A and B are shown apart, each in its own frame.
Chain A
Amino acid sequence: MTIAQRHNHAIDLAEKAFALASTDEARARDLFTEAYQIEREIAEGIEARKANEPSRSILYRSAASLALNAELYTQSLAMASAGLRGFPPEEIKLEIQSVFEQATALLAQTAIKTDDATAADLAIIEDWSENALLIEEAKSLDRPILHFALSDAHDHNSISLENLATFTDGWQKMVTNFYKKVYPRSSATIEILNPEYWTMRAFAFTPGSFKLHLEASRRKGLIPTTPLTRVLEVLTAIIETGQEEDLDEELIELLRSYKGHALVSLRNFLGQMVEKGIEVKYKWYDPANYDVYGGRIDIPFANRINHLLHKQTELVRETKTFTGTVRGANDKTGKWLIEDETEGDKKGGTEFKNLLTGVKIGQSYVFTCEEIIYQEEVTMNEKTDLQLIQLKPIK
């Protein structure tokens, strides 16, 4: 059967169901269910692209309404939510929202009547409602939106100012450092290195649960995709891989691509979570990606990954090269100073002091160093130490 024939069959079933609704409720519900399943299959086969509207959202609206009539409220919410994730025209969007609200209210009533289903059903309502809000915000602001929730042992509705500052700062540092690894200076365009792509601003919060609504300062400009989204994808991939203890090898392999500052900031963030007993949840939606993604970092997880990052010291070290004129080199102390052509003065030491023997001041060299990142004990500020491991003169 063609799509049109399947769709017409679904609506014929719905018409029969409406006719039976007052005389044979059970049969009517079965027909609505059958029609819903057909309509859902058709809708799910259509990609969420502007070119596929309004067909996609009309079919999802139809599937959501059929599920509602079949008293399948969670399925109705799922269909409505999926319809909103595309690009529904304004009038269809309003109709989908109306179905969403009806399904939410009916699900809540069902949950109240059925004690054993209450917690699960209410959790579903909260989840879908939050998704709907997230999608709405992202579309109206035309940029990725992140909902960032913190909770401590005290409650899920408030957070101390000190912890709020620590964790929002830690999150931004982590995003910044991962961004710089995803888009390294050497290969990125000047446009993508604009800090507005990775700096985030808080513009709202969800009352009742401590959830900050964050937006990227800039969406895409000259860039065809949303740069921040790529970073959030990487962080989520790390968190998802890390959830499985037997995937440590895969996790370490994944982490190797982000060696250095990014992993140090991740380690610090997880360390603070363990120390202060804070759990983190986040969800994000990018209007260009059509789906809600997210993750939850609980304390046992933070503890395990934090230990792993402390144990795998190679992950917090990075190899860096500097090219320029040597300004100082002492083969007795191992200290050196080079004026890099792009990054300016760089200084460090080396365990291999003989490398510095014969180095001519004022001559050009390539210094290959290991960058070791550590935290100062008192200020907790991040510091780096450069250890020379190889050098080559430039002829």
Chain B
Amino acid sequence: MIAINLEELRSIIPDLTSSWAGERLDAALFCLDHNGHSSTTKMELTGRNDHCNLSWTTKIDQKIKNTYNDTQEATEKGAEGMAALLVDKLTKYKVVRRSLKGTGIDYWMGHKDESNSGLLFQDAARLEISGLLSGSDSQYSTRVKQKSLQPAPSDNTGLPAYVSVTDFSKPRTTFIKV
């Protein structure tokens, strides 16, 4: 069992702005609350035969609910927050970089002990994130399959990638290296 305090999001991403972390925290809390979950909820880690114990102290007030009236945005940002927490708990990486991919943000991870001064994406691993506010088993497994389909590396320049898919209804998360 892995203990995750959601408020840790504020401290584990020093390379991004505090507002980035704050928004993802609020969004994740909104999604969990929306599905009737309260602090010390158990989250299944599918494919790992393990689970996390999710806890928080923040009160989910009307302001948070007003902010995340757009549930799609809340799900995307909430899933990003959950992914960042799992990266911190399960890997030697941290979420440090973003870049624009088409019409969305692409997330990258760098080593926790690495300085951030050189070329931005050297030795970075890609993080593919997806979220479901309330997904059926088939929707969930389809989403995991879609995200896991990386282009086969043509040579040794193929980029390492992790996939994080969170379903806030159960709740459950798949976090795997592809």
Q: Is B17 an interface residue (CB 8 A)?
A: yes
Interface string of B90-107 (1 = CB under 8 A from A): 000000011111110110
**B119 & A87 in contact (Cβ 8 Å cutoff):** no
Q: Is A143 an interface residue (CB 8 A)?
A: no
Q: CA A141 – CA B161 in complex, angstroms? A: 28
Interface 9-residue window, one of B52-60, B81-89, B152-160, B167-175: B152-160
Interface 9-residue window, one of A52-60, A189-197, A198-206: A52-60
Q: Is B41 an interface residue (CB 8 A)?
A: no
Closest chain-B Cβ to A144's Cβ sits at a distance in Å of 20
Q: CA A394 – CA B26 in complex, angstroms? A: 95
**A65 & B159 in contact (Cβ 8 Å cutoff):** no
Specify the main secondary structure of chain B where it touches its partner: loop
**A94 & B17 in contact (Cβ 8 Å cutoff):** no
Closest chain-A Cβ to B4's Cβ sits at a distance in Å of 25
Q: Is A2 an interface residue (CB 8 A)?
A: yes
Q: CA A69 – CA B155 in complex, angstroms? A: 31
Q: How large is the interface on A (under 10, 10 to 19, 20 to 34, 35 or more residues)?
A: 35 or more
Q: CA A8 – CA B120 in complex, angstroms? A: 10
Q: CA A61 – CA B104 in complex, angstroms? A: 12
Q: Which chain B residues border A52 with CB–CB below 8 Å?
A: 119
Q: Which chain B residues border A55 with CB–CB below 8 Å?
A: 119-122
Q: Is B116 an interface residue (CB 8 A)?
A: yes
**A61 & B158 in contact (Cβ 8 Å cutoff):** no
Q: Using A14-B100, A91-B150, A91-B151 as known contacts, say yes or no to A4 and B15 having CB atoms under 8 A apart.
A: yes
**A65 & B117 in contact (Cβ 8 Å cutoff):** no
Q: CA A52 – CA B121 in complex, angstroms? A: 9
Q: Tell me which of B100, B152, B155 has the highest count of chain A C-beta atoms within 10 A of its own C-beta.
A: B100
Q: Is A89 an interface residue (CB 8 A)?
A: yes
Q: Using A89-B158, A90-B154, A90-B157 as known contacts, say yes or no to A54 and B121 having CB atoms under 8 A apart.
A: yes
Q: Using A2-B116, A62-B99 as known contacts, say yes or no to A94 and B15 having CB atoms under 8 A apart.
A: no
Q: Is A166 an interface residue (CB 8 A)?
A: no
Q: CA A50 – CA B157 in complex, angstroms? A: 9
Q: Is A132 an interface residue (CB 8 A)?
A: no
Q: Is B16 an interface residue (CB 8 A)?
A: yes
| A65 CB contact (under 8 Å) in B17, B100, B108, B121 | B100
**A3 & B15 in contact (Cβ 8 Å cutoff):** no
**B99 & A90 in contact (Cβ 8 Å cutoff):** no
**A54 & B157 in contact (Cβ 8 Å cutoff):** yes
| A11 CB contact (under 8 Å) in B100, B103, B124, B159 | B100
Q: Using A12-B17, A65-B100 as known contacts, say yes or no to A4 and B157 having CB atoms under 8 A apart.
A: no
Q: CA A8 – CA B108 in complex, angstroms? A: 12
| A4 CB contact (under 8 Å) in B116, B150, B158, B159 | B116
Q: CA A52 – CA B154 in complex, angstroms? A: 18
Closest chain-B Cβ to A311's Cβ sits at a distance in Å of 54
Q: Which chain A residues border B155 with CB–CB below 8 Å?
A: 90
Q: Which chain B residues border A87 with CB–CB below 8 Å?
A: 157
Q: Which chain B residues border A8 with CB–CB below 8 Å?
A: 15-17, 98
Q: CA A65 – CA B102 in complex, angstroms? A: 5
| A3 CB contact (under 8 Å) in B16, B20, B117, B124 | B117
Q: CA A18 – CA B73 in complex, angstroms? A: 11
**A91 & B119 in contact (Cβ 8 Å cutoff):** no
> Which residue of A has the minimal Cβ distance to B122?
A55
Q: Using A58-B121, A59-B120 as known contacts, say yes or no to A89 and B102 having CB atoms under 8 A apart.
A: no
Q: Which residues of A from 39 to 72 have beta carbons under 8 Å from B?
A: 39, 42, 46, 50, 52-56, 58-59, 61-62, 65-66, 68-69
Q: Which chain A residues border B99 with CB–CB below 8 Å?
A: 7, 11, 58-59, 61-62
Q: Is A169 an interface residue (CB 8 A)?
A: no
Q: Is A390 an interface residue (CB 8 A)?
A: no
> Which residue of B has the minimal Cβ distance to A12?
B17
Q: CA A229 – CA B102 in complex, angstroms? A: 35
Q: CA A93 – CA B29 in complex, angstroms? A: 36
Q: Is A340 an interface residue (CB 8 A)?
A: no
Q: Which chain A residues border B102 with CB–CB below 8 Å?
A: 65, 68, 95, 98-99, 102
Closest chain-A Cβ to B110's Cβ sits at a distance in Å of 10
| B101 CB contact (under 8 Å) in A18, A35, A50, A61 | A61
Besides A46-B119, A90-B151, A90-B155, 4 other A-B contacts (C-beta < 8 A)? A3-B120, A4-B97, A12-B17, A39-B100
24 sampled A-B residue pairs with Cβ under 8 A: A2-B117, A3-B117, A7-B120, A8-B15, A8-B17, A14-B105, A39-B100, A50-B157, A54-B122, A55-B120, A58-B99, A58-B106, A58-B108, A62-B101, A89-B158, A90-B151, A90-B152, A90-B155, A91-B150, A91-B159, A92-B159, A95-B101, A95-B102, A102-B102
Nearest 10 pairs of A and B residues by beta carbon:
A62-B99, A55-B119, A55-B121, A65-B100, A89-B157, A90-B154, A4-B116, A62-B100, A91-B151, A11-B98
